[in-house]
Copies of this chain bind each other. A is one copy, B any other.
């Protein structure tokens, strides 16, 4: 049983202690955003649902996620929320064209991020041509992932979207036993659905044998083909 539990463990490569109380204090040093871009910076820890940066805030920093899961989202005029992306260790977030964040970022799980001053990146890009190219590549990756997300949102059925979401997650973590770090509400806002629709879709996928749901936050992919049929 212990083993089964362990195999769901993920998202923190900081060792068994977890992130939270008993961590070493924020550290300073050189932060690498990409192979060619590194700059002086420091790390910070955030608890669940804490805001890392806010929509409309000055974009003074760029962040590299060291451990944990982060969501970026945007508040719509009618009060609803659009979750734009979930980020995992290694991802760079907060790198935006303008000098004001168009998104906000919050910790889904407890997490640790490495901060780099935006200005020092700009200076690096002026000096070093390779660095400039890396920053471009990071923006290009965001563009691509946003495009894929839009594809997902333009799918018809609720179950389809949930199926694709689960497959995406399985690909990220390279396992069929998913530990969902995010709530139904996060998933719903990511997929453009309500929590009820997400829940019903999950149940439906389970009824059809595509997945198993040992608990709400735990999903096992039982029949990948069935899921991929939904993805069409």
Question: How far apart sit A78 and B133, CA to CA, in the bound complex (Å)?
Answer: 36
Q: Is A144's CB within 8 Å of the partner chain B?
A: yes
Smallest CB separation, A138 vs chain B (Å) = 10
Additional A-B contacts beyond A76-B155, A153-B154 (10; CB < 8 A): A80-B154, A82-B154, A84-B150, A97-B141, A97-B143, A125-B132, A125-B133, A129-B132, A132-B136, A153-B192
Taking CB atoms and an 8 Å cut-off, the chain A residues in 206-232 that contact chain B are 231-232
The 0/1 profile, CB within 8 Å of B marked 1, for residues 143-162 of chain A is 11011011101111000000
Considering only residues 107-147 of chain A, those with a C-beta below 8 Å from chain B are: 125-126, 129, 132-133, 135-137, 139-144, 146-147
A141 cross-chain contacts in B, Cβ below 8 A: 97
Q: With A132-B132, A135-B136 in contact, is A76–B151 under 8 Å at CB?
A: yes
Closest B residue to A140 by beta carbon equals B97
Residues on B with C-beta less than 8 A from A76 are 151, 154-155
Q: Tell me if B132 and A78 are in contact (CB < 8 A).
A: no
* 7 pairs, CB–CB < 8 Å, chain A vs chain B: A78-B156, A84-B150, A126-B129, A139-B143, A143-B146, A153-B153, A153-B192
Residues of B within 8 A of A147 (CB): 74, 84, 102, 146
Q: A153 vs B77: C-alpha distance in the bound complex, in angstroms?
A: 13
Interface string of A47-79 (1 = CB under 8 A from B): 000000000000000000000000000101110
**Quick one: which of B77, B82, B140 contacts A150, CB cutoff 8 A?**
B82
Residues in chain B near residue A154, CB distance under 8 A: 76, 80, 82, 153, 192
Complex formed: what's the CA distance from A75 to B8 in Å? Answer: 36
What is the bound-complex CA distance between A142 and B146, given in angstroms?
A: 11
Q: Among B129, B137, B232, point to the contact of A77 (Cβ < 8 A).
A: B232
1/0 per position for A88-100, CB-CB distance to B under 8 A? 0000000011100
